[in-house]
């Protein structure tokens, strides 16, 4: 019969950790019988587990029999080492869970302009929830045209964006957020400002100087602009507002964005019952993105505000 000792333990497996937890309980209970109620398994099963552990380690860990339970010298050293190992695992678990509770890092967001006046305030509420969960998170918002938002998400400069939902770009994921209504407006000083809607024929409206957006829109909305006499263009809604407020152009604006000027008597909607369109806005993220806890937390908060 060979007396060669088993090879040293090459690695610690999940099975070994489970056996070490049982061993710790046995030692702290002072024997197999006392450990039965703590572990919820019978004495014979505990004995078998201890034999498995001794075989795995190649060491005799304890004496058991009529004389009672007692650790060997090797058993005392393995017990102390197991306390260090299991303590380190618990510290690791606590620290990883703490990352979920105390977020750190950056969130770079690209937004289409003039969403802050939306009554739903979903983005604002989601940012508040994120800041509450991760006080140390650094949030950076960039207000850029929709095409630049999408490109920024694609190349990784932005973690997430919010854009008007037109045709989707490959490589990006879109999640609907809002639906906003845009009306056709003119400003004080424009020839149509005081004209009654009943006198505003399609021919008269379509002959006025108007503004076209340069960002992508769904085909059915683009048709709204093609019916107008677009002699100017703008890359965003704020640019369109600047031109409308000159009193020389008509153009579409989101009603929530235009409402303050309407209340001030500076803007007026033209034939609001028929000259309008509804546009969906969506959050956009990159497909196949790497795990990013801050981003996922923001997206969860955004979903929670729906």
Q: What is the DSSP string of 16-34?
A: HHHHHHHHHHHHHHTSHHH
Give 227's contacts (C-beta < 8 A, 6+ positions apart).
202, 206
Torsion of CA 90, 96, 101, 103, to 10 degrees: 150
Confidence of residue 101 (pLDDT cuts 50, 70, 90): low
Domain ranges of the chain: 14-81, 103-305
Structure confidence at residue 1 (pLDDT): 42
Q: How many CB atoms lie within 10 A of CB 260?
A: 11
- Helix, strand, coil in percent for the chain, rounding step 5: 45, 20, 35
Rounded mean pLDDT of 101-120?
78
Please say if the pLDDT value at position 168 is more than 90.
Answer: no
Look at 120 and 13; give whichever has higher pLDDT: 13
Query: pLDDT band for position 92 (50/70/90)?
Result: confident
Q: Is the pLDDT of residue 88 over 90?
A: no
Q: Residue 290: what pLDDT? A: 81
Q: Is the pLDDT of residue 119 over 90?
A: no
Fold of the 14-81 domain: Arc Repressor Mutant, subunit A (1.10.10)
* Residue 255: HSE in the Cβ half-sphere, 13 Å Cα cutoff: 15
Q: For position 209, what pLDDT does the model report?
A: 97
Q: What are the tens digits of pLDDT across the range 39-79?
A: 888 888 888 988 998 888 888 888 877 767 888 899 899 98
Class of domain 103-305 as given by CATH: alpha beta
* pLDDT for 2 beyond 50: no
The rounded radius of gyration (Å) of the Cα atoms in the chain is 34
| 185 vs 79, residue with greater confidence | 185
pLDDT at 84: 87
Q: What is the pLDDT of residue 285?
A: 94
Give the integer Cα–Cα distance in Å for 294 and 105: 7
Over range 223-237, report the average pLDDT: 93
Token pair of 90 as six digits: 């618990």
pLDDT digits (tens, 9 = 90+) for 231-287: 999 988 889 999 999 999 999 999 999 999 999 999 999 999 999 999 888 899 999
The stretch 186-195 carries a mean pLDDT of: 96
Average pLDDT score, the chain = 87
C-alpha distances (whole Å) from 227 to each of 177, 230, 251, 279 are 28, 9, 12, 18
Report whether pLDDT(184) > 50.
Answer: yes
pLDDT at 10: 58
Q: Are 108 and 127 in contact (CB under 8 A)?
A: no
Read off the pLDDT band of 178 (50, 70, 90).
confident
Say which residue, 92 or 234, is predicted with more confidence.
234
CB atoms within 10 A of CB 61: 22
């Amino acid at each position: 019969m060979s007396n060669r000792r088993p090879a040293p333990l090459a690695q610690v497996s999940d099975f070994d950790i489970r056996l070490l937890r049982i061993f710790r309980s046995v030692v702290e209970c002072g024997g197999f019988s006392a450990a039965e109620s703590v572990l919820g398994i019978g004495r014979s099963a505990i004995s078998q587990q201890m034999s498995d552990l001794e075989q795995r380690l190649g060491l005799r860990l304890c004496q058991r029999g009529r004389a009672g339970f007692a650790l060997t010298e090797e058993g005392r050293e393995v017990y102390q080492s197991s306390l260090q190992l299991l303590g380190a695992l618990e510290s690791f678990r606590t620290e990883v869970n703490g990352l979920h509770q105390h977020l750190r890092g950056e969130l770079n967001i690209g937004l289409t302009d003039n969403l802050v006046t939306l009554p739903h305030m979903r983005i604002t509420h989601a940012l508040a929830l994120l800041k509450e969960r991760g006080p140390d998170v650094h949030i950076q918002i960039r207000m850029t045209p929709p095409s630049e938002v999408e490109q920024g998400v694609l190349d990784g400069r932005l973690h997430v964006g919010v854009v008007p939902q037109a045709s989707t770009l490959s490589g990006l994921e879109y999640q609907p957020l809002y639906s906003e209504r845009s009306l056709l407006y003119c400003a004080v000083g424009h020839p149509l400002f005081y004209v009654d809607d009943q006198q505003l024929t399609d021919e008269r409206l379509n002959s006025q100087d108007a503004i076209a957006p340069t960002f992508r829109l769904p085909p059915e909305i683009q048709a709204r602009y093609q019916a107008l006499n677009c002699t100017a263009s703008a890359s965003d809604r704020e640019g369109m507002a600047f031109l409308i407020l000159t009193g020389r152009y008509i153009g579409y604006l989101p009603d929530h964005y235009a409402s303050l000027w309407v209340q001030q008597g500076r803007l007026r909607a033209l034939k609001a019952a028929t000259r309008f369109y509804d546009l969906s806005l969506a959050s956009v993220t990159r497909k196949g993105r790497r795990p990013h806890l801050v981003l996922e937390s923001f997206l969860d908060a955004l979903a929670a505000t729906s």
